[in-house]
Amino acid sequence: MATGYTMKIEEGQSFKDFVLKCSEAFSRRASEEGELKEHPVDEYHKEELEKAKKELLTAGTLTTEQAEVEVEKKYTREVKDCENSIQENKDLRLKYETMLTKVNNWKAPTSKHIPLKEFMVEQIQSSIKHDCYYVPTTPKKQTPQEWLDAQIKSAQWNVDYHKKEWEESLERNKGNNNWVRNLKESLR
């Protein structure tokens, strides 16, 4: 049975076209409209590196007063998120308990339906156990210096990470393009 790669051989596909078709399995851009194309450089990590450098520079120049404002915003947001999480947990538990009451009050129509009822109870109890006992910790308000230190540390990590990923991306791209060039040369 012909595969997606061999089905055109029956129609007289050329060796070059067969190689190009098979090359798709090795390089997503190797064969595009019957032509070998080199890989463009994915600039995601380069762009993120530039953003991270700006964030690091910004974090390093923030004043204590600016940090205090950011700490307040962050703390207010975290308290609100915590309160929302607690309320969502209560709401979910109420829904589970309401359904559990309905299941417990349900009279199985026959003895063959009792395992279904037991299963439903088990499912709800398991969900209550796993979904409704998490209580988020009350957020701790950072000092402006703690917040600044965390911002700088995070920005530095992002710079280091995206720098490394950008360099590796360039090397991968170089290797992929060499692969395409070598394949092109072998088909001349």
Per-residue pLDDT of 66-121, as tens digits, reads 999 999 999 999 999 999 999 999 999 999 999 999 999 999 999 999 999 999 99
- pLDDT over 70, % of the chain: 95
Predicted local confidence at residue 35, as pLDDT = 66
How many CB atoms are located within 10 Å of the residue 52 CB?
Answer: 21
pLDDT digits (tens, 9 = 90+) for 98-113: 999 999 999 999 999 9
Domain boundaries, the chain: 1-37, 42-178
Residue 177's region, left for phi above 0, alpha for psi from -120 to 50, else beta, is alpha
Q: Is the pTM of this model over 0.85?
A: no
Per-residue confidence at 158, pLDDT binned at 50, 70, 90?
Answer: very high
Query: In angstroms, rounded to a whole number, what is the distance separating the alpha carbons of residues 133 and 40?
Result: 50
